[in-house]
């Protein structure tokens, strides 16, 4: 598995992260095989959140990986907090309490990365700074980041938080690529020119923040996958054509498309299928040409001005 530096940190991570949101859908033996396979393939970066399965996903993961000191030294753990029933909560008390719960469920003393999950409209960045300082000084969290935040929200945090924001987890796929496409529709009088995210992709690149695309196979907001979907015939024909050229699956090409972008993104997978996770990991070694990348973009229905 090819690796990269995460944001401005010195942390070396695989270019594909293994999302564990659905691990509670597997039987224990299946979950154990899944996790073991990812490790054998060099994918040792695992993404969690305290809301996944109400915390059960973290517990199951720790159980099936057989968490102990030796195991912990050889994996990278990321989790997220801030989503509560009916609200978002970035208060100091909630962040600290959430991390303690995460660590207990994962059976570890520390997280490599903690992300703030969804922006809290009532955020008091001074409290976030206090929470981060306490978590860092106690050794409970080594690196910090955010999820689904725009540039000004990150800038507000950075005014008070001294730790670098190393990652921003954002929805991005071939069919949900507005953060890319509005970049070449500047000053145009069309819908594609609408800047919906404050140029978050450029901001992250300028500030050495790794973009972690979530739902890399989804279209819309969890409306389904675009691969093999009759709604996207031209896109699938193009992906299949390029997949045949590289002798890989369409899954591999969908991830390779994200990895081809010079922002050095780290896609977060969501599959619990062993063959599909292997196909995702293979994308680490597929380098699409510029022409192939644009052909896929246009086949998804995007237009160049």
pLDDT tens, residue by residue, 260-271: 999 999 999 999
The CA distance from 35 to 3, in Å, is 19
Confidence of residue 223 (pLDDT cuts 50, 70, 90): confident
Mean pLDDT value of segment 61-67: 98
Q: Cite the DSSP H helix spans in 74-116.
A: 92-106
pLDDT tens, residue by residue, 134-155: 999 999 999 999 999 999 999 9
Across the chain, mean pLDDT equals: 97
Q: Are 68 and 51 in contact (CB under 8 A)?
A: no
Does residue 221 have a pLDDT over 90? Answer: no
Is 219 in the active site?
Answer: no
Q: Identify which of 41, 86, 8 has the alpha carbon closest to the alpha carbon of residue 284.
A: 41
Identify the bridge partners of residue 45 per DSSP, sorted by sequence position.
76
Does residue 209 have a pLDDT over 90? Answer: yes
Of the chain, the percentage scoring pLDDT greater than 70 comes to 100
Domains annotated for the chain, with CATH where assigned, are: 3-229+265-271 (3.20.20.100)
Q: Nearest 5 degrees, angle CA 175-CA 252-CA 40?
A: 135
pLDDT tens, residue by residue, 95-135: 999 999 999 999 999 999 999 999 999 999 999 999 999 99
pLDDT tens, residue by residue, 265-292: 999 999 999 999 999 999 999 999 999 9
The CA distance from 219 to 176, in Å, is 6
Antiparallel, parallel or unpaired: β 165-171 and 141-147: parallel
In this structure, the chain runs to a length of 305
pLDDT tens, residue by residue, 164-175: 999 999 999 999
pLDDT tens, residue by residue, 9-47: 999 999 999 999 999 999 999 999 999 999 999 999 999
For residue 222, what pLDDT is reported?
Answer: 80
**Which residue of the set 52, 110, 203, 219 is catalytic?**
52
The CA distance from 7 to 299, in Å, is 31
Q: Are 295 and 212 in contact (CB under 8 A)?
A: no
For residue 52, what pLDDT is reported?
Answer: 97
Q: Are 123 and 149 in contact (CB under 8 A)?
A: no
């Amino acid at each position: 598995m090819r690796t990269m530096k995460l944001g401005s940190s010195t942390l070396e991570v695989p270019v594909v992260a293994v999302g564990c949101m659905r691990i509670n859908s597997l039987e224990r033996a299946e979950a154990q095989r899944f996790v073991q396979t990812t490790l054998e393939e060099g994918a040792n970066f695992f993404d969690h959140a305290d809301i996944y399965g109400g915390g059960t996903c973290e517990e199951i993961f720790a159980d099936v990986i057989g968490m102990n000191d030796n195991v912990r030294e050889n994996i990278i753990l990321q989790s997220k907090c801030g989503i509560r029933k009916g609200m978002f909560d970035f208060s100091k008390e909630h962040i600290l309490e959430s991390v303690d719960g995460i660590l207990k469920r994962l059976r570890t003393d520390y997280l490599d990365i903690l992300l703030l999950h969804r922006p809290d409209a009532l955020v008091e960045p001074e409290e976030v700074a206090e929470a981060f300082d306490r978590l860092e000084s106690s050794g409970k969290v080594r690196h910090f980041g955010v999820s689904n935040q725009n540039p000004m929200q990150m800038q507000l945090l950075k005014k008070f938080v001294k730790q670098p924001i190393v990652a921003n987890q954002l929805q991005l796929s071939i069919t949900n690529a507005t953060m890319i496409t509005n970049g070449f529709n500047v000053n145009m009088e069309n819908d594609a020119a609408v800047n919906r995210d404050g140029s978050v992709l450029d901001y992250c690149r300028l500030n050495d923040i790794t973009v972690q695309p979530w739902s890399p196979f989804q279209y819309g907001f969890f409306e389904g996958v675009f691969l093999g979907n009759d709604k996207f015939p031209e896109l699938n024909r193009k992906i299949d054509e390029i997949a045949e050229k590289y002798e890989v699956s369409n899954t591999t090409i969908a991830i390779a498309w994200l990895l081809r972008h010079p922002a050095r993104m780290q896609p977060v997978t969501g599959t619990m299928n062993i063959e599909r996770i292997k196909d995702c990991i293979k994308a680490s070694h597929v380098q699409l040409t510029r022409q192939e990348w644009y052909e896929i973009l246009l086949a998804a229905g995007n237009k160049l001005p």
